[in-house]
Structure 1
Amino acid sequence: MKTILLFNFLGPEMLVIFFAILLLFGGKKIPELMRGIGKGIKEFNSARSTLESELKDGMKEAERRELEEKRQS
């Protein structure tokens, strides 16, 4: 059974992609593009960490309520 790996780029493929980006955006636009990608990744990680903390807080609250219900029973 053959597995297809997505985004498994080696040296030659990376060079082709780099030159394609260079041709499409030009040398002056690449720093702006990378900055935008960096900001997007930063926002994504921030949202992910916020969601994780809210989920953990919700789970702790549910456990606390469950323990209180058991004590009352």
Structure 2
Amino acid sequence: MGFGGIGTSGLILLVVLALLLFGPNKLPELGRAVGRTFREFKNGARDLMSEEEPRGGNPSSPVRGSGDADRTADKRTTDQP
């Protein structure tokens, strides 16, 4: 049993159904689009998590906004390449 309880026969059925609906020429394009979507979601979630990390310094100081202008004014680079 794998893939969240679908099973091998269910997975094969889904692949055959996808081939019938979209055709073999369209499936690679759909796969790339899904991969791009997941990558953008992961990067967005990572950005949100890095913005919520506690910053060192005085805890009583006001919290800055999370906009791009604040990052440039702060002169700290938090983004990893």
Residues 11-36 of structure 1 show CA distances to partners (whole Å, capped at 9, x for unaligned) of 00001000110011000000000000
- State the one-letter code of the partner of 1:31: P
Q: Distance in 2 between matches of 1:18 and 1:64?
A: 56
1:64 partnered with 2:61: no
1:11 partnered with 2:17: no
Deviation for aligned residue 1:60 = 2.5
- State the one-letter code of the partner of 1:65: P
Residue in structure 1 matching 2:25, options 23, 28, 34: 28
Structure 2 spans left out of the alignment, 5+ residues: 62-81
Structure 1 spans left out of the alignment, 5+ residues: 1-6, 69-73
Q: How does 1:34-53 map to 2 (within 5 A)?
A: 34-53=31-50
Residues 13-69 of structure 1 show CA distances to partners (whole Å, capped at 9, x for unaligned) of 00100011001100000000000000001100000100010011xx235x7314x7x
Give the structure with the higher percent helix.
Answer: 1
Q: Distance in 1 between matches of 2:58 and 2:35?
A: 39
Q: Which 4+ residue blocks in structure 1 deviate beyond 3 angstroms?
A: none
